[in-house]
């Protein structure tokens, strides 16, 4: 039996839309991207969504919005040490300095009790990462942010469908950045999207994704139909609005074919979410029998976890390594991924920031001892039982 980490659903609707798009010769960002944005905002429960070319770009652009609201280059952004490296990369790409905080070793998310220790006069925002789709402690984080006049930008890359105390992840901060990469519940193959309930933030996001242009209407007449635009020459010296650049921007637009894949995914969203969640919760419930050698996250009564993957952390009492376990799973057809790393101390690209091993012990432990495996919609109880049987067999031989 082969259990790949991920899968992708390309619906017949998506295939038909792509054929229409190719026949139209209008392939760059247009009406289908706008349609996808509206549908994604509806899924999350936000009023605005701005599609971009990757989840990393989604974080970077959300941060770059803050320059319009008083932030300066070199200001500080608080972020958990444990995340996929894209979170830290995006902070640096946006011109800010990442300030790292260790995680709670049970939730895998940022430890709110350590946040205020690192706030300075240069701090502008907190980025909680809902790692593996488990919601961060947003009440505590939002309280700290409000007390210290900070923005909150959710990194919801893996948190499609997650719910925290009755509210959807993606609506609990000033903005939220989602990845639409192929492994996620809603995918455009490559892509990302920012949700917000602040129309002024969404305006800036639309400008930022297209080089910082003054063009930032929710739906661009020129781009969708090459029609007359009353705003085009209403600026000083009759400058063409398309070539007036109000801010330092990016080139991160989503194209129409990617949007078509996303539109088809959204049509199947409820079914995909349900099947993935059934797999995740089934595995989580059964995993208790593998303690004290192995641990995974737990579901709290007030949350729904976004079913991205099942994290597994080898515990201190185990007499085997993470790589030995991963090797056994791979030999039995179960695809694995490492559970990320401590960005500041285990990713050499961040060494210039001056951190050293031991600064973030929980993140470093998980970086050395964690893996995650797929729970996607092409799997069912038979595949989940194969995972459980394979782990049980491994433990019987190694404990």
Q: What is the rounded average pLDDT of the residues 12-28?
A: 94
Angle at 349 between CA 347 and CA 353, to 5 degrees: 95
Q: Are residues 253 and 333 in the same domain?
A: no
Q: What is the rounded average pLDDT of the residues 142-159?
A: 98
Q: What is the rounded average pLDDT of the residues 340-351?
A: 98
Q: Give yes or no for residue 222 having a pLDDT over 60.
A: no
Decide: 317 and 374 in contact? Cβ < 8 Å. no
Q: Which helix (H) or strand (E) holds 372?
A: strand 370-374
- Buried-exposed string 372-381: b where 16+ CB fall within 10 A, e elsewhere: bbbbbbbbee
Q: Are residues 239 and 281 in the same domain?
A: no
Q: Give yes or no for residue 214 having a pLDDT over 90.
A: no
Q: Tell me, what's the pLDDT at 234?
A: 72
Among residues 213, 242, 267, the one where a domain terminates is 267
**227 vs 369, more confident:** 369
Q: Are residues 341 and 392 in the same domain?
A: yes
Q: Tell me, what's the pLDDT at 244?
A: 79
Q: Tell me, what's the pLDDT at 239?
A: 78
Give the mean pLDDT of the chain.
95
Which residues make Cβ contacts (< 8 Å) with residue 33, sequence separation at least 6?
51, 253, 254, 255, 256, 258, 259
Q: Give yes or no for residue 191 having a pLDDT over 80.
A: yes
The whole-angstrom separation of Cα 343 and Cα 224 is 41
Residue 6 lies in a domain: no
**pLDDT more than 70, % of the chain:** 94
188 closest CA partner among 266, 112, 123: 266
pLDDT band at 26 (very low <50, low <70, confident <90, very high): confident
Among residues 237, 267, 297, the one where a domain terminates is 267
Q: Tell me, what's the pLDDT at 188?
A: 97
DSSP state of 322: H
**For residue 304, what is the domain's CATH number?**
3.90.1150.10
The whole-angstrom separation of Cα 374 and Cα 33 is 28
Residue 227 lies in a domain: yes
Q: What is the rounded average pLDDT of the residues 29-53?
A: 96
The whole-angstrom separation of Cα 344 and Cα 341 is 9
71 closest CA partner among 96, 101, 98: 96
Total structural domains in the chain?
Answer: 2
Q: Are residues 115 and 195 in the same domain?
A: yes
Q: Give yes or no for residue 19 having a pLDDT over 60.
A: yes
The whole-angstrom separation of Cα 63 and Cα 50 is 14
Residue 161 lies in a domain: yes
Residue 259 lies in a domain: yes
pLDDT band at 245 (very low <50, low <70, confident <90, very high): confident
Q: Are residues 20 and 154 in the same domain?
A: yes
Q: Are residues 303 and 252 in the same domain?
A: no
Q: Are residues 227 and 282 in the same domain?
A: no
Query: In 20-128, at which residue ranges do the beta strands (DSSP E only) sit?
Result: 48-52, 76-80, 82-83, 97-101, 123-126
Q: Tell me, what's the pLDDT at 223?
A: 58
Give the model confidence (pLDDT) of 70-105 as tens digits.
999 999 999 999 999 999 999 999 999 999 999 999
Which residues make Cβ contacts (< 8 Å) with residue 34, sequence separation at least 6?
218, 219, 224
Q: Are residues 282 and 375 in the same domain?
A: yes
Q: What is the rounded average pLDDT of the residues 262-288?
A: 97
Burial class (CB in 10 A: 0-12, 13-18, 19+), 5: middle
Q: Give yes or no for residue 346 having a pLDDT over 70.
A: yes
Residue 189 lies in a domain: yes
Domain that holds residue 301: 270-398
For residue 291, give both structure tokens: 């303690």
Residue 2 lies in a domain: no
**pLDDT more than 90, % of the chain:** 89
Among residues 267, 299, 315, the one where a domain terminates is 267
128 closest CA partner among 109, 147, 100, 114: 109
pTM score: 0.94
The whole-angstrom separation of Cα 355 and Cα 227 is 54
Q: Tell me, what's the pLDDT at 225?
A: 54
Q: Are residues 247 and 282 in the same domain?
A: no
SS3 call for 60: helix
Q: Give yes or no for residue 393 having a pLDDT over 70.
A: yes
Q: How far apart are the first and last CA of the chain?
A: 25
The whole-angstrom separation of Cα 190 and Cα 101 is 29
Q: Are residues 87 and 174 in the same domain?
A: yes
**For residue 26, what is the domain's CATH number?**
3.40.640.10
Give the model confidence (pLDDT) of 376-387 as tens digits.
999 999 999 999
- Buried-exposed string 115-151: b where 16+ CB fall within 10 A, e elsewhere: beeebeeebbbbbbbbbbbbbbbbeebbebbeeeebb
Residue 383 lies in a domain: yes
Tell me, letter by letter, the H, E, C secondary structure of 158-220.
Answer: CCCCCEECCEECCCCCCEEEEECECCCCCCCECCEEEEECCHHHHHHHHHHCECCECCCCCCC
The whole-angstrom separation of Cα 59 and Cα 82 is 16
Q: Are residues 24 and 127 in the same domain?
A: yes
Q: What is the rounded average pLDDT of the residues 321-337?
A: 98
Q: Are residues 244 and 312 in the same domain?
A: no
For residue 256, give both structure tokens: 């129409």
Q: Tell me, what's the pLDDT at 229?
A: 64
pLDDT band at 189 (very low <50, low <70, confident <90, very high): very high
Q: Tell me, what's the pLDDT at 54?
A: 98
Burial class (CB in 10 A: 0-12, 13-18, 19+), 45: middle
Residue 167 lies in a domain: yes
Parallel, antiparallel, or unpaired: how do β-strands 294-295 and 309-314 relate?
antiparallel
Q: Give yes or no for residue 15 having a pLDDT over 60.
A: yes
Which residues make Cβ contacts (< 8 Å) with residue 318, sequence separation at least 6?
293, 294, 398, 399
Q: Tell me, what's the pLDDT at 224?
A: 56
């Amino acid at each position: 039996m082969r259990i790949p980490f991920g899968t992708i659903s390309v619906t017949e609707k998506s295939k038909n839309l792509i054929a229409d798009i190719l026949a139209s010769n209008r392939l760059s960002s247009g009406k289908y991207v706008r349609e996808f944005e509206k549908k994604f905002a509806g899924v999350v429960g936000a009023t605005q969504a701005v599609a971009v070319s990757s989840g990393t770009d989604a974080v970077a652009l959300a941060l770059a919005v803050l320059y319009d609201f008083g932030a300066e280059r070199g200001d500080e952004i608080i972020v958990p040490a444990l995340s996929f490296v894209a979170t830290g990369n995006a902070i640096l790409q946006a011109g800010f300095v990442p300030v790292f905080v260790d995680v709670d070793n049970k939730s895998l998310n940022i430890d709110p009790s350590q946040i205020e220790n690192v706030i300075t006069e240069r701090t502008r925002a907190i980025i909680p990462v809902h790692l593996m789709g488990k919601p961060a402690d947003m009440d505590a984080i939002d309280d700290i942010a409000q007390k210290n006049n900070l923005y909150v930008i959710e990194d919801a890359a893996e948190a499609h469908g997650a719910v925290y105390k009755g509210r959807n992840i993606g609506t609990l901060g000033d903005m939220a950045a989602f990845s639409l990469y192929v492994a996620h519940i809603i995918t455009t193959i490559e892509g990302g999207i920012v949700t917000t309930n602040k129309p002024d933030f969404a305006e800036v996001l639309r400008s930022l994704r297209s080089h910082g242009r003054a063009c930032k209407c929710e739906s661009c007449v020129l781009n969708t139909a090459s029609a007359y635009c009353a705003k085009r020459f209403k600026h000083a010296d009759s400058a063409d609005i398309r070539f007036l650049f109000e801010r330092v921007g990016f080139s991160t637009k989503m194209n129409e074919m990617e949007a078509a894949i996303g539109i088809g995914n959204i049509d199947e969203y409820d079914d995909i979410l349900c099947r993935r969640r059934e797999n995740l919760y089934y595995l989580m419930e059964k995993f208790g029998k593998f303690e004290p050698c192995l641990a995974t996250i737990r579901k709290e009564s007030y949350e729904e976890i976004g079913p991205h993957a099942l994290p597994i952390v080898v515990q201190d009492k185990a007499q085997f390594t993470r790589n030995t376990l991963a090797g056994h799973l791979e030999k039995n057809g179960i695809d694995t991924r490492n559970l990320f790393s401590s960005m500041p101390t285990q990713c050499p690209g961040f060494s210039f920031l001056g951190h050293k091993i031991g600064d973030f012990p929980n993140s470093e432990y998980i970086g050395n001892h964690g893996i995650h495996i797929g729970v996607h919609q092409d799997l069912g109880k038979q595949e989940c039982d194969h995972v459980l049987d394979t782990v049980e067999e491994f433990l019987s031989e190694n404990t």
